[in-house]
Structure 1
């Protein structure tokens, strides 16, 4: 059965307290897990630590911690610590992110992202085992590190945030789950084939990996406002976040649309970028409209076989009351 999570908003919030209030609201509403990506603004680890202290039972996860901004050993320590402070509620999500973030924000060369992600997953698993880390990879050669104190029991599972075929295959082969974003229902179904191939290459059960989709949602009585916010969010990801999302959507049948959106966005014509997203495309990628419409759209994704969780996300331009209204409207 598909569970419902919450993908916490990444746009600038006025403080930690509103973020915590979303988490508590989601917990009270019966959601299964809170996911928080690391992009700009507050770092994910600190916020998850606060959420761990101020919630009681809801699961916690990093939908993505980039594998270029922390060493693999430090990431293992971080995962162990978050598992401890959360009382065993943590799930680690990692991924390469993209050149716009890694090179533009962190000043690190975006090289060999797939190999780097694989080695991070392997090293973090060694760290979390509590045994001495001895690793000889193509990118990392480590020796002698070991956690002081007890290793986390159970060790937090590790998901890979991925969009492309080889990245999803990697998740199936080496990780405990796949975290997807910006997929249509049919796009998810197609990419599951890559996850299965990875599981076969790793001699693993094809159903072992947990699959989570973060979905852009906005459920408001003001239908037009909800759909405009969802359009703005989608246009931003296509036009302003590098080529990864464009390539993924082009592969899902929207090549002409993403080219038009990107061109309009790049020339500063934001309204034209929004107009390039017709209703069919919006409904294929988002759950936006009245509460009834958004709930119906969400259920289309919940019906995808082998999709274990849908994480209700929010448009980056949504105000606090609109985020809270969506959390309540789409609650399990």
Structure 2
């Protein structure tokens, strides 16, 4: 059975209390886990600490913490601390993000993202073990570090995000899980084959690598409002968040649409970019419309064999009331 989770919003939130409120609502309504991304808003570690303190049973996770904005040792310390604060409810999601974020926002060179992600996973595992960290990699060379607190028991699982074949293969080979975003059902199926290949290369059971899809959802009685919000959000990701989402969508059979959206967005023609997100493409990438339509759409994704969880995500333009309505309408 596929778990239903929640992917907390980062845009236009009035304060941390609103994120706490969404998470408590999700906890009350039976969602398995609340994921929090780290982009341009509040830092995820601080907010996850608050969520851990103000909730009781819902699992918590980061989706994702970029591997360029913290050292791998510090990432391991943060994971250990969050596992302690949450009393074993934490799951660490990491990934490279993309050049637009890493170079534009953080001023770091976006070099060798796959190798960097692999070394992060390996180093974090060593940190979480509580043993001295002696590591000689191609990017990182560490010596002498060790947690000066009890290592978490159990250690939090480490998931890796990825869009392309090689990044998903890496998750299957080295990580405990894979995070996906902006995928069609068929696109997910294709990448799951890469995940299985990676697991086999790592001599692992593919079923032990947990797969999570973050799915843009909007379930409102006002059908057109819900679809417009999801359409705008989709255009923003494909057109405004670098090349990775555009290339991923092209690999899934929508190259013409992906290029048209990106071209219009890059030219400042935002309305035209949104119009290039056709109804067909919207329905392939999102669960948006009336509550009944959105439930039917999310169930299409949950039916994908090998997908362990679907995380209900929200359009960046949705109001707090619209987010709460969607959480309620899609509750498990």
Measured against the shorter chain, the TM-score band is over 0.9
Does residue 8 (structure 1) correspond to residue 26 (structure 2)? The answer is no
In structure 2, what is the Cα distance between the partners aligned to 1:149 and 1:47? Answer: 22
Does residue 260 (structure 1) correspond to residue 260 (structure 2)? The answer is yes
| Residue pairs, 1:66-215, within 5 angstroms | 66-215=66-215
What is the alpha-carbon root mean square deviation over aligned residues? 0.5
Q: Provide, for residues 105-153 of structure 1, a one-character-per-residue CA deviation record: whole Å limited to 9, x for no partner.
A: 0000000000000000000000000111111100011111111121000
Task: Give the corresponding residue for 1:307.
Answer: 307
TM-score, with structure 2 as normaliser: 0.99
Task: Give the corresponding residue for 1:284.
Answer: 284
In structure 2, what is the Cα distance between the partners aligned to 1:192 and 1:238? Answer: 22
Bigger shift: residues 43-52 or 264-273? 264-273
SS at structure 2 position matched to 1:318: coil
In structure 2, what is the Cα distance between the partners aligned to 1:5 and 1:250? Answer: 27
Structure 1 stretches of 4+ with a deviation exceeding 4 A read none
SS at structure 1 position matched to 2:272: helix
Task: Give the corresponding residue for 1:326.
Answer: 326
In structure 2, what is the Cα distance between the partners aligned to 1:252 and 1:189? Answer: 10
| Residue pairs, 1:232-251, within 5 angstroms | 232-251=232-251
Q: Provide, for residues 92-112 of structure 1, a one-character-per-residue CA deviation record: whole Å limited to 9, x for no partner.
A: 000000000000000000000
Does residue 228 (structure 1) correspond to residue 228 (structure 2)? The answer is yes
SS at structure 2 position matched to 1:134: strand
In structure 2, what is the Cα distance between the partners aligned to 1:213 and 1:10? Answer: 17
SS at structure 2 position matched to 1:246: helix
- Runs of 5+ unmatched residues, structure 1: none
* Deviation for aligned residue 1:274: 1.2
SS at structure 2 position matched to 1:135: strand
Q: Confirm or deny: 8 A CA contact 1:12 1:41 kept in the other structure.
A: no
In structure 1, what is the Cα distance between the partners aligned to 2:248 and 2:144? Answer: 40
Residues matched between the structures, number: 332
SS at structure 2 position matched to 1:238: helix
Q: Confirm or deny: 8 A CA contact 2:12 2:317 kept in the other structure.
A: no
* Deviation for aligned residue 1:12: 2.9
Q: Confirm or deny: 8 A CA contact 2:95 2:162 kept in the other structure.
A: yes
Q: Confirm or deny: 8 A CA contact 1:160 1:178 kept in the other structure.
A: yes
Task: Give the corresponding residue for 2:59.
Answer: 59
